[in-house]
Chains A and B, each alone.
Chain A
């Protein structure tokens, strides 16, 4: 392991730019069977709400060409459980811990952020883009006003670095990014899943019990690269890119588009070893290209 992959992102030191995405990695316990969590740059934990949530009825997953739809609906044990049980365990793992939070109301975001502010979590990622819950969630993330409102509230509630997770289900994602930057966000992460639907043509029923769900996986990668590029060109705060990354080459592409860190989600299901393979690939890439640090490639795409 070299420090040539290291990055200071929103004021936080990451040993490498790879972060398993919220919702794909639980609290890390399951993947610890495969490799030590210290392998990872950071972990974005399962989205946490104020109270525990049971989530949506199954089926919650549908496979799609080169991707998948999910409609988990933010099932989680609630912020108090996270702080008491999961966070102390995660803090022993020698990796950056990003708490991902979601609320149904502005007050819920504030309460969670205030509670986290008193912990030793490293960073807060604010989900204003979950497509699978009825109240709040994506509703805040699809307008500049809503995104600004939640950013302002969380910003006031904590001195931790705040990263706003943006929805791709908008007309102009760069405008939303600018709005959250103006309210003091330290970083943005994108893209959350794209709203999608599959129907079983025999039963005429949607495959997901929630009818619609979030599309992720390689199918969304080009959309994610395009949006990261647009956002990176519109804001000064750093960008964490995600959406369909499954190889080190994808990660390099995402970084060239303007992401200085990146997240991995659906690829973990196809192959739980994906993070290890990507990190090895990036180390070799840095060597082969005689880079001092991988960050040298961030935003280096040469548009026509």
Chain B
């Protein structure tokens, strides 16, 4: 696998929800090798550091990548001003560890908020053998439900305030699902507090679990060592790096802060 830096054409741009943008980028050389769970590091014009954005969907035939991001600050705001037909400067595909999918048949796939996009490519792999649980603040923030349904997966939508789908957290929905079936694996991406509870539930039910983490990044390739996260490696605490050692980690490796 080789990282590539290049300027690629934005084929389409959509607004999915308030301040949430969806770009489809033509980059066959990246699409060819990209895997579920990897990310791209996007240049925001005028800013020092790139913005790491997870890959939502990969179309190897069309040579396209889809990325979805939320405006969180000035850098992502500049990115949101890119238009269809313009070029986007990315370094990709990054992430030393993608989701491990091959050895499993059935899965529960969980996304919280802007942690939902990377789960689409995972859901595509499992189709009808997957159950997707998506959580959002409220109805206005809901994204990707049609895409998840199109994979064939059973979909469960939760919102914190009950304005769409079930009222409650994804962890409540997960517990409910586990009462009737035991999947081979659980995949999750979202806020750390959510991941921590999912990891606990997975452990209680003796189900392997993989989580995709987030941390402020510098180089994105594993050289600068700023995106540290606490893990256990060979029985010792080790500050792994989200960009290179992850962004996907096995649940039992991660030390979640209190």
Contact = CB atoms under 8 A, between A and B. Distances in A.
- A, B bound: yes
Interface of A: 23-26, 29-31, 33-34, 46, 54-64, 66-68, 70, 72, 75, 217-218, 266, 268-273
B218 A54 contact: no
A24 B48 contact: no
A62 B91 CA distance: 20
Given A68-B218, A269-B50, A269-B218, 4 more contacts: A66-B48, A269-B49, A270-B43, A272-B221
A266 B48 contact: yes
B219 A60 contact: no
A70 B228 CA distance: 12
A67 B48 CA distance: 6
B224 A269 contact: yes
Nearest to B3: A33
Summarize A's interface: helix, strand, loop or mixed. loop
6 contacts: A31-B223, A34-B4, A61-B226, A61-B227, A68-B49, A271-B5
Contacts of B223: 24-26, 30-31, 46, 268
Contacts of B215: 58-59
B216 A59 contact: yes
B229 A33 contact: no
A75 B4 CA distance: 26
B18 interface: no
A269 B229 CA distance: 19
A272 B47 CA distance: 15
Contact of A61 (B2, B216, B230, B237): B216
B5 A61 contact: no
Interface of B: 1-5, 43, 47-50, 75, 91, 215-230, 237-239, 244
B50 A63 contact: no
Contacts of B220: 269
A24 B75 CA distance: 22
Given A26-B223, A30-B223, A63 B48 contact: yes
Contact of A272 (B75, B219, B239): B219
Given A66-B48, A272-B221, A58 B238 contact: no
A270 B2 contact: no
Contacts of A25: 223
B178 to A, nearest CB: 32
Contacts of A60: 216, 225-228
The 3 closest A-B pairs by CB, nearest first: A26-B223, A61-B226, A33-B3
A182 B36 CA distance: 57
Contacts of A271: 5, 43
A63 to B, nearest CB: 5
A191 B5 CA distance: 29
A58 B50 CA distance: 18
Given A269-B49, A273-B5, A30 B239 contact: no
A33 B244 CA distance: 13
B254 to A, nearest CB: 13
B48 A30 contact: no
Nearest to A266: B48
Given A63-B75, A270-B48, A270-B50, A31 B228 contact: no
A20 to B, nearest CB: 9
A62 B218 CA distance: 9
Contacts of A26: 222-225
Given A30-B244, A266-B48, A270-B50, A58 B229 contact: yes
Contacts of B47: 63
B228 A75 contact: yes
Contact of A34 (B3, B43, B244): B3
B219 A30 contact: yes
Contacts of A218: 48
Nearest to A71: B226
Contact of A24 (B224, B229, B239): B224
A54 B48 contact: no
Contacts of B229: 58
Given A34-B5, A272-B91, A217 B228 contact: no
A29 B244 CA distance: 12
Contacts of B91: 272
Nearest to B73: A63
A72 B227 contact: no
Contacts of B217: 61
A25 B216 CA distance: 18
Contact of A33 (B2, B43, B48, B238): B2
Q: Which has the most chain A C-beta neighbours within 10 Å: B3, B220, B225, B229?
A: B225
Contacts of B239: 54-55, 57-58, 75
A236 B91 CA distance: 42
A29 B223 CA distance: 8
A59 B1 CA distance: 28
A33 B221 contact: yes
Given A63-B47, A63-B48, A272-B91, A55 B225 contact: yes
A273 B221 CA distance: 13
